[in-house]
Structure 1
């Protein structure tokens, strides 16, 4: 009959192995999602809800893509085309609206055609988003008169 000490060692070893697997998976997922593009932490809130969902946004060539913070999926949950995305002026989140993992974040109202949503971004991330939206890669919309 195994002793309590051996059982405890097995449980602790299993938990440590599980923690290593989770951390490694998270690291590799983040690296794969970034693929050399700019990636930053942000909050997403759909209209009519008070709940912020934390995630990662990636500034792609033609679209802004939002990924959930946790999980194993490497596909974006939301995708907004650059030419349809409209970004409004940011408003500082204060009091009960503030997000603990995003201190000093600003609320950025956005629309994608008819659908509206809000992003919570810290100062440098908002600047990057605004710059990304205003700057197009070479050859983008070259047929526009």
Structure 2
């Protein structure tokens, strides 16, 4: 009996340790990705697909960067320059198209040169994205002091 009890304790302790490492890694990754810049939850899907992928977008100085929600990568999966990014009018996601982790989200068709994709954002996050894009000074790589 004591050996079964010890084995159970080892398994439970290992599972708790693994869960703590996963939570700590997720927290530290998100803190590092944010780096003092606005970061928000959104979903993205390339043109021609039906599958939404949850992720985080970061509003940088000259680019919008999209990171996968899970994983350990500290680099953005997609990066769109502010000057090339075109946003269309948002369309509410309803019925089977709705995303459970983004209630009352809207689909925003986007274009970056030849690359077409869609972002799913909640109302305040869409407003922040639109404001971020429109706040850019005119011209390419213009620095305002």
TM-score, normalized by length of structure 2?
0.93
1:111 maps to which residue? Answer: 111
Corresponding pairs, count:
143
Gaps of 5+ in 1: none
3-state SS of 2:51 partner: coil
Aligned to 2:19: 19
Change beyond 3 A, Cα 1:70–1:2: same
Inter-partner Cα distance in structure 2 for 1:142 and 1:37: 19
Matches within 5 A, 1:1-145: 3-136=3-136, 141-142=141-142
Q: Is the 8 A contact 1:43 1:54 kept in 2?
A: yes
Cα deviations across residues 75-122 of structure 1 (Å, max 9, x unaligned)? 000000000000011000001110001010000000001211000000
Q: CA deviation at 1:3?
A: 1.7
Task: Mark the runs of 5 or more structure 2 residues left unpaired by the alignment.
Answer: none
Q: Per the alignment, do residues 41 and 7 of structure 1 end up closer, same or farther by CA in structure 2, a change over 3 Å counting?
A: same
| Aligned-partner SS, 2:108 | strand
Contact 2:83 2:140 in 1 (8 A): no
- Label 1:103 to 1:35 Cα distance change in 2 as closer, same or farther (>3 A): same
Other structure's SS at 2:64 match: strand
Q: Distance in 2 between matches of 1:74 and 1:36?
A: 15
Seen in structure 2, the aligned counterparts of structure 1 residues 32 and 137 have a Cα distance that, compared at 3 Å, is: farther
SS at match of 1:107: strand
SS across alignment from 2:32: helix
Q: Distance in 1 between matches of 2:98 and 2:140?
A: 37
Cα RMSD for the two superposed structures: 1.9
Rounded Cα–Cα distance in structure 2 between residues aligned with 1:124 and 1:114: 28
Say if 2:45 and 2:53, in contact at 8 Å, map to a contact too.
Answer: yes
Q: Is the 8 A contact 1:61 1:137 kept in 2?
A: no
